[in-house]
Structure 1
């Protein structure tokens, strides 16, 4: 079966190999004549990026590139991006790449016509209503990794260097108008990034599935997203040019980000401060934390994990067989067992716990998290005590 389709949930998604060719036409369809292509430094000179930029210019569009951003983007990166956007008189953004490029592209488009500082639009209460909707430029998102799902999200994560805190900036119109999900663009991902981003997609689905509250649509999407990761992550890591596996992982990433409107949990609550303080890869940090958080939550999620294990076709479906699936996925895709193997130390242990317990994701954990719980979870994951 050909894995090619047009989807309109949660936004318009052009899915399939080779669909990056449609980029110039799609830019024009949303009113862009001078798009700013935003990506990270690592992708700036990559053939897929150069080809995309060349195609825009060949179509007569006044395209330019911005790539001055850190793996965990900070406020100064946004300021530089906005300066480039206005200097080039751009009228829209092509957000291109992994989570950092996608988030930064969305944030530049969002902030391009705002008069208040970005921190005034943090995802707190109704702060998003402070924004001028007419000042939000159109966005086309092109994911090149399969993990964050930022291409179908209405928010961007930005690190506040003053407090070393990752903040979620939210507005409904930050949702890209069109997404191009082309599996061929992810073929060049290194194994480490393929594994980390893939496990990030799995963590989004898993935490959304386990979060309290009633949202059966999100849960259904999350369950199928996990099945796709189970089926295809290791293939994508070990056989990088397997386009069917890459397609499954791209779909799973978008599904995870669609599902987690129901909530996230302890994995992300801890991963956010760890990433901000140690500059660790977000998806890989979630992957390392996953079994420790699962065991902590076991007493309140065992019944639903048993249902999940049955859906995934595990022998003797239950919590233990699902935990073993997680451990096997980690082993087979090269995920470290401990945070120490990612060069995380205990230097900021107390601060991680303080930050984790007030992280917005903490409220979605199925079991209440205390600062002491977060401190122990961090210490266990640091030293590999499962």
Structure 2
């Protein structure tokens, strides 16, 4: 199967193995002549990053990198990135990496021309209209994991370093102008990161599919995204060099982030505060709380998940789907509980309070309250 294509939805995407070679062309298409490559500390010195910088330099686009990015990027990282961007006289960003590098790269491009503080643009009501849209720099996104789908998203998740809360920064122009999805860049992901990021993509599709909001386009994308994860995540976990399966996982990641315009839910409402406070891996945390959330939402989603199970080739309706999630987690070595994940001495009241103000809450099929959310969280330990 030839998994190489150019797509124009939801933005311009150059998809296929080896297409990182087109990074300079992508910058030109986005109107960038002097890019700042933003990535995370873990990727900064890896061959895929060096290769990308070599390609930019060879094309006369300079060689500039900012990599002071934490696993859960903060406003402190953002300020440092904007400083590097301005001092370097850059005119665009190559956001390179997993969710952290992509999210921070997008925010650097967004904030470089703004005069208001970052938190003024949180995803609340129409706060995004406060931004000077003309001052937002163009973004080329290059994912190196297959999970968050941030490369096709209009938002970034940034952790407030003072309150340890994950905040969502939103603006339509945070959507990158050009995306390069090259599955060869994901080959070096270790199995546990492959598992965690893959389950993040699955969680996005699952929650979008179960959200009660009306968005049939997202519904269809979410369903096929789940199928791609079901068929391909076990393959790439077992053999990271399976390029075709890696490609399908990259598609699933982009599909999840496109689908969750329909909404997310309790999985993300829990995993955002847990990750912000306890520094757990986001996708792995999603996987750990997935079955408890399926139980929590059962009455509202039972019929809908029976339809999904049929499409996915899973027998037994809701019960079969629920068992499938447990079996998949076990096969991927995902911890069974938050305790096993390393969450120790949690402040349950604080986590519940944070969960209830998370933007994901509104998409959950069952209304989340202080009482039922507390019970749900305790059920995850």
Q: Shorter-normalised TM-score: what interval?
A: over 0.9
Structure 1 stretches of 4+ with a deviation exceeding 3 A read: none
Distance, in Å, in 2 between the alignment partners of 1:3 and 1:242 is: 12
Distance, in Å, in 1 between the alignment partners of 2:260 and 2:63 is: 33
Partner secondary structure for residue 247 of structure 1: helix
Deviation at 1:348, TM superposition (A): 1.6
Distance, in Å, in 2 between the alignment partners of 1:375 and 1:161 is: 24
Matching residue of 1:21? 21
Distance, in Å, in 2 between the alignment partners of 1:355 and 1:248 is: 34
Offset from partner CA, 1:137-172 (integer Å, 9 cap, x none): 000000000000000000111111222111100000
Matching residue of 2:232? 232
Distance, in Å, in 2 between the alignment partners of 1:282 and 1:29 is: 32
Distance, in Å, in 1 between the alignment partners of 2:25 and 2:230 is: 35
Q: Number of paired residues? A: 381
Offset from partner CA, 1:102-148 (integer Å, 9 cap, x none): 00000000001001001000111111000001110000000000000
Any residues of structure 2 matched to 1:208-227 within 5 Å, and which? 208-227=208-227
Distance, in Å, in 2 between the alignment partners of 1:241 and 1:4 is: 17
Do the aligned residues in 1 keep the contact of 2:29 with 2:178 (CA within 8 Å)?
A: no
Matching residue of 1:308? 308
Any residues of structure 2 matched to 1:17-166 within 5 Å, and which? 17-166=17-166
Any residues of structure 2 matched to 1:168-183 within 5 Å, and which? 168-183=168-183
Do the aligned residues in 2 keep the contact of 1:277 with 1:348 (CA within 8 Å)?
A: no
Distance, in Å, in 2 between the alignment partners of 1:212 and 1:187 is: 36
Offset from partner CA, 1:164-204 (integer Å, 9 cap, x none): 11110000011000100000000000111100000000000
Deviation at 1:285, TM superposition (A): 0.3
Distance, in Å, in 2 between the alignment partners of 1:334 and 1:50 is: 31
Further displaced range: 111-120 or 347-356:
347-356
Distance, in Å, in 1 between the alignment partners of 2:286 and 2:159 is: 17
Distance, in Å, in 2 between the alignment partners of 1:257 and 1:240 is: 23
Distance, in Å, in 1 between the alignment partners of 2:168 and 2:340 is: 28
Further displaced range: 333-342 or 38-47:
333-342
Distance, in Å, in 2 between the alignment partners of 1:143 and 1:98 is: 6
Offset from partner CA, 1:67-87 (integer Å, 9 cap, x none): 101100111000100111011
Distance, in Å, in 2 between the alignment partners of 1:30 and 1:365 is: 36
Do the aligned residues in 1 keep the contact of 2:291 with 2:325 (CA within 8 Å)?
A: yes
Q: CA RMSD in A?
A: 0.8
Any residues of structure 2 matched to 1:201-350 within 5 Å, and which? 201-316=201-316, 318-350=317-349
